[in-house]
Amino acid sequence: MSTWPRRIGALVAATLTAIGLTTGGAAHAATPTHYTGLLPDGGSWVADVPGAWNGTVILYSHGFGPLVARDAPDEPTGQALLAGGYALVGSSYSGPSFWALGSAVRDQFASLEALAQRIGKPRRTIAWGTSMGGLVSALEAESGGHRLDGALTTCGLVAGALNLNNYQLDGEYALSRLLGPAQPVKLVRYASADEASAAAAALTKLVADAQSTAAGRARIALGAALMNMPTWFTGPAAPADYAGQEQQQQQALTQFVLGFVVSGRYQIELAAGGNSAFNAGVDYRSLLAGSALSRQVRALYREAGLDLDADLANLTHHADVTPDPRAVGTLARTSMATGRLRVPELTIHTTSDHLVPVEQENWYARRVRAAGQEPLLRRAFVDAPGHCAFQPAETIAALHALESRIETGRWTETAPEKLNAAAAALGTPGRYLRFAPAPLTGGLGQPGRW
């Protein structure tokens, strides 16, 4: 008989006790043992091990940002896992930039080995990655072999860097070309972080200023569609409320998306040794035709009295960004999943993620299917806006669904109603739903893209 029902019951009790929600008040659990260390390539690692360790190690991979070792996605989730008996370990990765995919997988497994030398070999090891770290966990699921038993990939950048750079370039290029043709914004090959930040600020201002006219709003919607930008930011707009949808997209673009992704491109270029993105030869009419947001764009263009075909032809005619072969090769080697899974993997994603669009899950699933490993992959979706905007109970419920698969060899706990019930048992109603992400606009394999 599977031990999964007993384990989830124990975790519920332990978690509620740890955060003081039982009727008897908070218990004073023993402080976990904290470990730190250095890695051969200059990175660092950190781990926390509870006194009543259950034999499972969570190998946590953090997202894009400063190279600081972390072993949990956030403090509440980390505390709940420790209360449930899980040991946690993770590394900082090593540079030269925040996009540390060249070292991340190696550093993660080195951290796991360093911890095992101190506490002994774990009974089970599960990779858990967030955002860029979700790409790391997907890569670990391909290379982990005997070192891993499964992978939980949350809000993961699973379509990889080459896709990310291309569809972001498409949207940024459309916004720059159509909203500021007299002074186009530099979009690739940044010489410094300051230059990238200045480009981000300039593009953000173009989008902010354009919102005041119907023509500007239509062109913002086009750029957003090319970037796979969801239409839910502060509150969901009705399916036919195209103006409300565009307002949500514009708010996300100006409040944080453009500032983050344009400046972040410098970090990826630094790691890759150049620019991997390109749009020379791309047919923008074909790209939009394949977008789930094309109806919204066409409606707003009609309302503004603009010629959409003329704008798309303009974009296609002037698209001239070419990639640096060295950068493409580096990212293809370090930052793209092959889909050749060796252990079970469960991915979870919010339905309206502005930084890592949920459409990435569509591209990744096709990659896994092409590799013949579809039985090892399951996907689950949380009905919420935001990047990695999960409740701790939702991610822990997903962890237990993965553990059930590891123990039984069958996926039996990943249906939305089962995940929601598991989250509710942990104290927070789950928001999982049945959902099928649209194809990734601008992804590799589409017209003009290899």
CATH of residue 10: 3.40.50.1820
Same domain for 347 and 303: no
User: Which of 311, 330, 349 is the endpoint of a domain?
Assistant: 330
What's the CA gap between 362 and 358, in Å, rounded?
8
Look up the pTM and report it: 0.93
Question: Torsions phi, psi of 10, nearest 5?
Answer: -65, -40
Q: Does residue 441 fall inside a structural domain?
A: no
pLDDT band at 21 (very low <50, low <70, confident <90, very high): very low
Token output for 427: 């104290």
Same domain for 22 and 128: yes
Same domain for 195 and 96: no
Chain segment 380-399, per-residue pLDDT in tens: 999 999 999 999 999 999 99
Q: Does residue 447 fall inside a structural domain?
A: no
Same domain for 165 and 148: no
What's the CA gap between 161 and 182, in Å, rounded?
30
Q: How far apart are the first and last CA of the chain?
A: 49
Chain segment 157-196, per-residue pLDDT in tens: 999 999 999 999 999 999 999 999 998 899 999 999 999 9
Token output for 85: 């008996």
Q: Does residue 442 fall inside a structural domain?
A: no
Q: Does residue 189 fall inside a structural domain?
A: yes
Q: Does residue 439 fall inside a structural domain?
A: no
Q: Sort strands 150-154 and 345-352 into parallel, antiparallel or unpaired.
A: parallel
Q: Does residue 175 fall inside a structural domain?
A: yes
User: Which of 280, 308, 330 is the endpoint of a domain?
Assistant: 330
Chain segment 233-280, per-residue pLDDT in tens: 998 889 999 999 999 999 999 999 999 999 999 999 999 999 999 999
Nearest to 72 by CA among 13, 115, 130: 130
Same domain for 313 and 345: no
Chain segment 194-243, per-residue pLDDT in tens: 999 999 999 999 999 999 999 999 999 999 999 999 999 998 889 999 99
User: Which of 310, 330, 350 is the endpoint of a domain?
Assistant: 330
Same domain for 140 and 25: yes
Q: Does residue 450 fall inside a structural domain?
A: no
Chain segment 401-446, per-residue pLDDT in tens: 999 999 999 999 999 999 999 999 999 999 999 999 999 999 998 8
Same domain for 210 and 313: yes
Count each helix (H run) and each strand (E run) in the chain, helices first: 16, 9
- Report pLDDT for 29: 56
Domain that holds residue 202: 161-330
Chain segment 27-72, per-residue pLDDT in tens: 345 799 999 999 999 999 999 999 999 999 999 999 999 999 999 9
Query: Total domain count for the chain?
Result: 2
Same domain for 141 and 52: yes
**What mean pLDDT comes out for the span 8-24?**
36
Report CA 160 to chain centroid distance, whole Å. Answer: 10
Same domain for 177 and 65: no
- Report pLDDT for 236: 87
Mean of pLDDT over the chain: 93
SS3 assignment, position 313: helix
H/E stretch holding 208 reads helix 193-210
Token output for 302: 């009609």
Same domain for 297 and 170: yes
Q: Does residue 48 fall inside a structural domain?
A: yes
Chain segment 100-129, per-residue pLDDT in tens: 999 999 999 999 999 999 999 999 999 999
Same domain for 288 and 215: yes
Same domain for 147 and 82: yes
Gyration radius (Cα) of the chain, Å? 22
